[in-house]
Amino acid sequence: MENIESLHELLKRQTMDLHEKGHQVPYIVNLLKNTVSVESYVGHLRAFAIIYGTLEHQLSTLNQPEIKDFLEDYTPRLPLILTDLEYFNAKNVKDIIPAINNALHVADKILLYSVQNPYKLLGFLYTLDGSLNGGSVFRIHLSEVFDLHNNKGISYFSLFNEPYKQFWAKFTEKLNTKIINNQAKNDVLSSAAEMFNDLLSIYENLYPIDEKRLGNHITSLNPEAGNFPIPTNPLEIEAAMIAGLRCWDEFSFFEKRYGERGKRFSASDAVWLVTLHELSLELANNQVKWLAKYLANRGMPVITMEFQLRCMYEELVKFIPDNEQKYKTLLLVSEQLKNERIKIISSAIFEKSNSIFTEFCVQLKVSEEPMKNTGILIASSIADVKNGFEPSLQSFKTWMTNPELFSSNWIQAVENTYSAIENQI
């Protein structure tokens, strides 16, 4: 009788040589000899943050139940990696650009496979999570090199615990029993090997480090940000981050609607916005409008961008007063957005809009916690439509009146505020 190997056995067999190869890569050799540098380890975590960030997001948005079934008991790894990076105060550690590029290449493939052939994502997950089996060994060496305690800085590599083992046992069991189709089996096998080779390329770039290829990459602020320029001056980055946080504080719906992932995108958008001061006013304006439209489509009224640019100018000038003139471009673009906004709805109405909403909330005995500046956001979404940001209103209002998120009284208060403001224009 023919002895048919299970998919898990095939996967193990096919990656045996690659495992061997992995143990000879200088970065892994260093890690096992306790001579790894903080730059290399942080580079490793950053590359994994990019890959896991994209993979976990794509897996979470897939519609196929047969793929989703594999994620039973899976807990996202990205938060652990981000915690480890935070522990190492990684913002002061330069990025190893070639390793980042390798990881971004993997992220691109994840995006492609998520629409082309989602089974391949299972192969990627197999290799990534399978590497955690050796994570317990890495953890011991890392804790010795960096004098780490209570899993701080190594929470990702400490995942090799009971819940992980349960997940892994179920995952590999499902690989054996649920993937029957030969094409799907081959896809998992080929993508697992592909991911393994990509990991080897990443490791090869982590040591020795080419000093000329160290730099600041946007993915250190947001692993899912992709590829775009950020300022080289750390003070500008810090100012942008503070401006972003001020914006989140001012419009608290951000937190509720977009959560932690949204906060990371807000950070990467903020540091990109800083770079616009290097452009002419016309170009900077075009770029801001492009981003404002993109964000309006995703439910962010344009007043949030206007406010953020003003904060950014203020923070930048606080940090680097000598560059005040250069940063003025950001303020001018913000003022332009403001002028366009108040041409449609007067400042007086904007000033009243929060109290209009609050009054309706009181009248209707709304039970929800108020969200700061809701009235202003409603007014902005109305003005946005006439200023060429058409989707702002629909996208914002749809969320604000979603019965799965808000009580009927809240929804009524929002509807009433829309009507009241529209009647005053």
**Cα(347)–Cα(341) distance, rounded to whole angstroms?**
9
Task: Kindly tell me which residue out of 70, 157, 272, 313 binds another protein, with binding defined by CB under 8 A.
Answer: 272
Which of 94, 371, 391, 401 lies at the binding interface for another protein (CB under 8 A)?
391
275 binds another protein (CB under 8 A): yes
| Residue 293 makes contact with another protein by CB under 8 A | yes
Report the 10 Å Cβ neighbour count for 109: 20
Binding to another protein by residue 278, rule CB under 8 A?
yes
Q: How many residues does the chain have?
A: 425
Residue in 282, 322, 369, 404 binding another protein, rule: CB under 8 A: 282
Please say whether the beta carbons of 418 and 397 come within 8 A: yes
When asked if residue 424 is in the footprint of another protein (CB under 8 A), the reply is no
- Residue 294 interacting with another protein (CB under 8 A): yes
Phi/psi for 405 (5° steps) reads -105, -30
Stretch that binds another protein, among 131-139, 276-284, 318-326, 368-376 (CB under 8 A): 276-284
Q: Compute CA 78 distance to the chain's CA centroid, rounded to the nearest angstrom.
A: 10
> In 345-373, which residue ranges form alpha helices assigned H by DSSP?
347-363
Q: For the purposes of burial, counting CB atoms within 10 Å of the CB of 404, is it exposed (0-12), middle (13-18) or buried (19 or more)?
A: exposed
Instruction: Kindly state whether residue 280 participates in binding another protein, applying the rule CB under 8 A.
Output: yes
Q: Is 142 in the site for another protein (CB under 8 A)?
A: no
Contacts (CB under 8 A) with another protein, residues 22-81: 58, 61
Using the structure block, give the residue that is written with the tokens 């929804």: 411
Query: Taking CB under 8 A as the rule, does residue 261 contact another protein?
Result: no
Shortest spacing between CB 115 and another protein, in angstroms: 5
Q: Whole-number minimum distance, CB 106 to another protein, in Å?
A: 13
| Near another protein by CB under 8 A: residue from 287, 336, 346, 358 | 287
**DSSP string covering 9-28:** HHHHHHTHHHHHHHTTSHHH
- Which of the ranges 166-174, 226-234, 343-351, 402-410 carries the binding residues for another protein, by CB under 8 A? 226-234
Alpha helices in 226-323 (DSSP H): 234-250, 253-275, 281-297, 303-319
The greatest distance separating any two alpha carbons of the chain, rounded to the nearest whole angstrom, comes to 85
Instruction: Report the residue number, 104 or 311, with the smaller CB distance to another protein.
Output: 104
Binding mask 89-128 for another protein (x = CB under 8 A): ------------x------x--xx-xxx------------
Cα–Cα distance between 314 and 74 in angstroms, integer?
43
**Closest listed residue to residue 195, CA positions, set 102, 132, 97, 57:** 102
- Residue closer to another protein (CB basis): 40 or 114: 114
Residue with tokens 């890495």: 138
Binding footprint of another protein on the chain (CB under 8 A): 58, 61, 101, 108, 111-112, 114-116, 227-229, 272, 275-276, 278-280, 282-283, 286-287, 290, 293-294, 297-298, 391, 395
